[in-house]
Amino acid sequence: MLMKVRLLFVLLILILASDSKSQVELVPVDSPVYDYFLRMKNLGMLPEYNPGIIPISREATAHNLKTIESVNKKLSSVDRKLLSDFMVEFSYDLTGTLEKRASLFKTTKHIFSDDKQKDLYGYADSNATLFLDALGSFSQRESRGDSIGRHSISLGELGIRVRGTLYNSVGYYLRASNGQKLSGDSADVTFARNTDPKLFAQYKFQFEQNNFDTFDGYLRYRTPGNWLALMTGRNPVYMGFGFTDRLFLSNNTAAFDYLRLDLAYKAVAYTFMYGSLRGDSLGREIDAKNIATHRLDVMFSNSFRMGFFESVISANTPFSFTFLNPISFLTSAELNKSSQPGANNDNNSLMGLDMLVNPVKSLAFQGSLLVDDLDFSTLFKDNSSITNKFAWQLGAMWENAFTLPNLRFTAEYTKLDPFVYSHVSNETEYTHWDLPLGHHLQPNSDEIAFGLEYDITNRINLSLLYQHQRSANGIVTDSLGESDCKLWR
């Protein structure tokens, strides 16, 4: 924590010498504003919103809120109240002034006011902004069941968050926290780690059984007009149109460090990432494991959007210019790289397509297809070489379901072929901290999921999710030597 505190003070010193209306930093991925934007898109009030890549910047968020504000009269009473809450939360991004923000270091007068967004400290001038917040949480986690056992653990966490924008072009962000186990034994710690990616990626919590600490931090530069952005640091990122889970990049693992490039022009958006992952092979740590990804999104109309995704996982190579090229076809680059040892393929390449369709108001459909280790020479042959592994997903979302305002109904089916996300080399599985980068299902599985979400008020949300999963026993060889994958029910 000492090094993190020093970094915070360095940032503060850099900013003291410097009203910026464009906040370049990103909105955290767990913000409820993303669900709100998706709802508004499905209702036809925010047609240009792209849920296929999250997070987005605070200035883009402000633009979306202004678009929704322009059709305020069409909103339900709860949606109007939610909009009002977001207008307060993102008040500086909308207005460029601190009139609706209250710094608690200066006064506690507005501490219980809903009309002010509270910060520990807020500062803005013509060149820079700084917002400092304190974070705190308490969680009581319980489990009951034959498969996961009976567990109970209490966790507390405290931290800080500092963010802002310099000279209307460079955004910075740092969130650092330290947590403590308040009750529970070693078995409860194991349960907590296995059900929370943030805790799983914690050697300290695994061995000391008491404390854990996490951080996200990055610098982000974007050009005027938002046609180009460059970012380096650690921050969660999601890719794909999945409603309950995503095939490409999801929230099933911890955040990783990466370099990111974003390009956008009218209806076309492109993202490139090159990052560092944590991995092992049969329990042995790997010196270097990297990921390179491309995603291209095209909005063909207000009701139809399509995306193309590709990724390569490499190991034991700290840095590769082959995969650092932001304008390339990664699958082809993987097969033709100069360091390729003969016909062997130690790297794991994936590619996929997905689409999001809003045929009528209140309805959305998504379809996603992922191909692991594409090989045209074996595309229509048997899979003895373990290539051409497919995963696919179909989903539907209904807003104001069953004529009840603010009720969302979701249904989604996902199927993963044997060996999807895995590889002939254990070192290059599609994982980070041994947790899936994509969908939570293991290979050779399928799932049907149904969800209900209801905004009872702007402050109370009810969410129910039912998931029925089937997974395989694996490869079974019969007396004739023929192989098959058997599902259990």
pLDDT for 106 equals 78
pLDDT for 380 equals 58
How many other CB atoms sit within 10 Å of the CB of residue 30?
A: 9
Q: How far apart are CA 47 and CA 34, in angstroms?
A: 14
Q: Produce one character per residue of 278-302: b if its CB has 16 or more CB atoms within 10 Å, e if not.
A: bbeeeeeeeeebbbbbbbebebeee
Measured in degrees and rounded to the nearest 5, phi and psi for residue 58 equal -70, -35
The residue among 224, 290, 180, 249 whose CA lies nearest residue 21 is 224
Q: How far apart are CA 264 and CA 383, in angstroms?
A: 39
Q: How far apart are CA 379 and CA 376, in angstroms?
A: 5
Q: How far apart are CA 209 and CA 124, in angstroms?
A: 42
The CATH classification of domain 237-489, taken from the options 2.60.120.560, 2.40.160.130, 3.40.50.150, 2.40.30.10: 2.40.160.130
pLDDT for 207 equals 85
Tokens of 220: 């982000």
Digitized pLDDT (tens) for each residue of the chain, 489 residues in all: 444 444 444 444 344 333 446 799 999 999 999 999 999 999 999 999 999 999 999 999 999 999 999 999 999 999 999 999 999 999 999 999 999 998 888 777 767 777 889 899 999 999 999 999 999 999 999 998 877 889 999 999 999 999 999 999 999 999 999 999 999 999 999 999 999 999 999 888 888 889 999 999 999 999 998 999 999 999 999 999 999 999 999 999 999 999 999 999 999 999 999 999 998 766 677 778 999 999 999 999 999 999 999 999 988 877 777 888 888 888 777 766 655 543 455 788 999 999 999 999 999 999 999 999 776 556 556 655 566 889 999 999 999 999 999 999 999 999 999 999 988 778 889 999 999 999 999 999 999 999 999 999 999 999 999 999 999 865 544 444 444 443 332
pLDDT for 20 equals 44
Q: How far apart are CA 312 and CA 328, in angstroms?
A: 12
CA distances from 224 to 53, 59, 91, 157, 375 (A): 21, 12, 21, 38, 42
In DSSP terms, 433 is beta-bridged to: none
pLDDT for 375 equals 65
Measured in degrees and rounded to the nearest 5, phi and psi for residue 332 equal -70, -40
* Residue 107: exposure state from Cβ atoms within 10 A (0-12, 13-18, ≥19): exposed
Going 325 to 331 to 337 to 339, the CA torsion angle's sign is: positive
Where along the chain do its domains lie?
A: 237-489
Can you state the angle between helices 58-69 and 33-42, rounded to 10 degrees? Answer: 40
Tokens of 261: 């490039």
The residue among 277, 306, 316 whose CA lies nearest residue 293 is 277
The residue among 489, 334, 373, 368 whose CA lies nearest residue 439 is 368
pLDDT for 341 equals 46
Name every residue whose Cβ is closer than 8 Å to that of residue 89 and which is 6 or more positions away in sequence. Answer: 33, 117
Tokens of 10: 């360095």
CA distances from 432 to 81, 233, 254, 290 (A): 39, 16, 7, 10
pLDDT for 482 equals 43
Q: Is the peptide bond prior to 359 cis by the omega test (within 30 degrees of 0)?
A: no
Can you state the angle between helices 58-69 and 77-89, rounded to 10 degrees? Answer: 140
Name every residue whose Cβ is closer than 8 Å to that of residue 284 and which is 6 or more positions away in sequence. Answer: none
pLDDT for 283 equals 65
pLDDT for 342 equals 39
Pairing mode, strands 117-119 and 101-103: parallel
Output the 3-class SS for the chain. CHHHHHHHHHHHHHHHCCCCCCCCCECCCCCCHHHHHHHHHHCCCCCCCCCCEECCEHHHHHHHHHHHHCCHHHCCHHHHHHHHHHHHHCHHHHHCCCCCEEECCCCCCCCCCCCCEEECEEEECCCEEEEEEEEEEEEEEEECCCCCCCEEEEEEEEEEEEEEEECCCEEEEEEEEEEEEEECCHHHHHHHHHCCHHHHCCHHHHHHCCEEEEEEEEEEEECCCCCEEEEEEECCCEECCCCCCCCCECCCCCCCEEEEEEEEECCEEEEEEEEEECCEECCEECCCEEEEEEEEEEEEECCEEEEEEEEEEEECCCCCHHHHCCCCCHHHHHHHCCCCCCCCCCCEEEEEEEEEECCCCCEEEEEEEEEECCCHHHCCCCCCCCCCEEEEEEEEEEECHHHCCCEEEEEEEEEECCCCCCCCCHHHCCEECCEECCCCCCCCEEEEEEEEEEECCCCCEEEEEEEEEEEEEEEEECCCCCEEEEECC
